[in-house]
Amino acid sequence: MDTNQHIFQLREDFTKGTLNELDVEKTPDAQFAKWMQQAIEAKVLEVQAFNLCTVNKQSKPSSRIVYLREFENNQFYFYTNYQSRKGIEIETNKNVSATFFYPELERQIRIEGTINFASKEKSDAYFNSRPTESKIGAWSSLQSKQINSRNELENSVLQNQKYFENQEITRPHFWGGYVVTANYYEFWQGRKSRLHDRICYELNSKNEWVIARLAP
């Protein structure tokens, strides 16, 4: 069987849970925290990983996996190179989306919102918590830029290791945190026969969260 035929024939019924708009938490940040904790307890792999989608000035989207490092009050923090492709696209368009996928629980969480720089204090604190090798890596990689070879990257690492050998490795000015402030959530629970449960939270004009069920 070739790959396409195999994919075409894949079928799976989802039977591990249900989701009801009457039973979910009153606010989406509380529901997110609940599902995140359940995913941790279920030992979901890479529980902190999410797909971040940004859009450039030509309205072309791009996606990649990044790591959530903190969340509170509908705000989600991650850290990266500000001069990367996503950083450049964020400069152009502050609207982003994030998707968490927990296949072990047959769940996904979609979040939409706006993005801004995290505070310098948070960026410094997170950078200072990183292993030495990761700090050197942040200085050494011109993220998303074309390079001639792996050797070019490794030589940059060696140069920075030598430079910082007897001094503190400070946070690069081009590296730090972003915070996504959510204005929309969708919680998806897989169900049998593709009749999935989808519950969304959306901010209305009074800045109140409105809960609704969506057709699967």
Q: Would you say 189 and 18 are in contact if contact means Cβ atoms under 8 Å apart? A: yes
Q: Would you say 203 and 99 are in contact if contact means Cβ atoms under 8 Å apart? A: no
3-state secondary structure of 186: strand
Q: Would you say 191 and 18 are in contact if contact means Cβ atoms under 8 Å apart? A: yes
Distance (Å, rounded) from C-alpha 24 to C-alpha 199? 9
Distance (Å, rounded) from C-alpha 144 to C-alpha 176? 16
Q: Is 194 a catalytic residue?
A: yes
Set 64, 194, 198, 213: catalytic member? 194
Distance (Å, rounded) from C-alpha 27 to C-alpha 187? 12
Distance (Å, rounded) from C-alpha 113 to C-alpha 123? 20
Distance (Å, rounded) from C-alpha 160 to C-alpha 134? 12
Distance (Å, rounded) from C-alpha 94 to C-alpha 76? 14
**Helix count and strand count (H, E) for the chain:** 6, 9
Q: What are the catalytic residues? A: 194
